[in-house]
């Protein structure tokens, strides 16, 4: 009873704009789940160190090449101690398909040194007893580890209700007027207080899918967008009209088609 009272007091002191943005975020999360389904986080989680290195390898490349770089790394060095003792140049060669090979190789080696120093071995499980803020503080102190990478470790390895912001999410949240920001870090800070509780993972995954297939950086498929009426993007009408003039086949292939914005 006391806990419920305390929660309602906290909600009561939210500024009005936060309350309305939270409502807006919930409505958009509902619509995305309606159209794209509800992604559920698997019970089988990768270890925090694996997620950390895999996310670092995914920087500045696409999913396919990032995956190839990860597979090559694990195949050549099955144990983290093998990576730690390998020459940087050799690691760089192994992960070169993912781009920025020298920078990533040096950063991976440095991260492994830090983890071994702090944990006594190559295991970040000790982070599980820390708060989200403590984990973010610890991980982002490592070179090459930004807010998004730290948030990915929290979600994908620790099951925390945290909302990582990548380039797609940053763009879409701004177009949908959920955030007003110049960087993904600012979007993270703004979204943190409005993402519906216990739905951060689903909202995160669906916004990435939506950003890749519909609300693309170039030529967004506004004419087929289920969020058209909620979107604040000033060019949406122009994109919708341009797309309506082209054959549907040439626009791309979203999972859902809703042609109702252009008569
Ligand atoms: S209307 Fe266009 S810009 Fe707006 S959310 Fe949909 S696809 Fe993105």
The model's pLDDT over 204-236, given as tens digits with 9 standing for 90+, comes to 999 999 999 999 999 999 999 999 999 999 999
Ligand 1 mean position to 254 CA, how many Å?
13
Q: pLDDT tens digit string along 24-74?
A: 999 999 999 999 999 998 888 899 999 999 999 999 999 999 999 999 999
pLDDT level of residue 244 (50, 70, 90 thresholds): confident
CA of 231 to the centre of ligand 1 (A): 6
List, in order of start, the domains of the chain with CATH numbers.
18-39+165-263 (1.10.1670.10), 48-157 (1.10.340.30)
What average pLDDT does the chain have? Answer: 90
**pLDDT for 10 beyond 70:** no
Residues with CB under 6 A from ligand 1: 175-176, 214-215, 220-222, 225, 227-228, 231, 233, 236, 239
pLDDT at 248: 62
Distance CA 179, CA 218 (A): 20
Instruction: Return the closest-CA partner of residue 98 out of 108, 86, 111, 110.
Output: 108
Is the Cβ–Cβ distance between 56 and 104 less than 8 Å?
A: yes
Percent of the chain scored above 70 by pLDDT? 88
Q: How far apart are CA 168 and CA 51, in angstroms?
A: 20
Q: State the pLDDT confidence band at 14, using cuts at 50, 70 and 90.
A: low
Reported as a single tens digit per residue, the pLDDT across 184-211 is 999 999 999 999 999 999 999 999 999 9
User: What global pTM score does this model have?
Assistant: 0.86
């Amino acid at each position: 009873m006391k806990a419920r009272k305390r929660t309602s007091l906290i909600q009561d002191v939210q500024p009005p704009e936060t309350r309305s943005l939270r409502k807006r975020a919930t409505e958009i999360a509902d619509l995305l789940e309606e159209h794209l389904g509800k992604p559920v986080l698997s019970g089988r989680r990768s270890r925090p160190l694996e997620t950390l290195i895999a996310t670092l390898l995914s920087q500045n490349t696409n999913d396919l090449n990032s995956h190839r770089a990860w597979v090559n790394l694990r195949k050549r060095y099955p144990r983290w101690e093998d990576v730690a003792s390998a020459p940087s140049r050799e690691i760089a060669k192994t992960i070169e398909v993912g781009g920025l090979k020298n920078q990533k190789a040096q950063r991976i080696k440095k991260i492994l040194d830090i983890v071994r120093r702090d944990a006594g071995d190559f295991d970040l499980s000790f982070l599980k007893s820390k708060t989200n803020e403590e984990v973010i503080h610890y991980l982002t102190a490592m070179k090459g580890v930004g807010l998004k990478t730290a948030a990915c470790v929290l979600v994908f390895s620790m099951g925390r209700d945290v909302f990582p912001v990548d380039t797609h999410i940053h763009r879409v949240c701004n177009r949908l007027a959920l955030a007003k920001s110049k960087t993904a870090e600012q979007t993270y800070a703004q979204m943190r207080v409005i993402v519906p509780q216990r739905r951060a993972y689903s909202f995160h995954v669906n916004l990435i899918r939506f950003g890749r297939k519909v609300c693309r950086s170039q030529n967004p498929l506004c004419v087929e967008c289920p969020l058209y009426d909620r979107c604040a993007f000033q060019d949406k009408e122009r994109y919708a009209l341009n797309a309506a003039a082209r054959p549907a086949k040439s626009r791309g292939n979203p999972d859902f088609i809703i042609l109702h914005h252009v008569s």
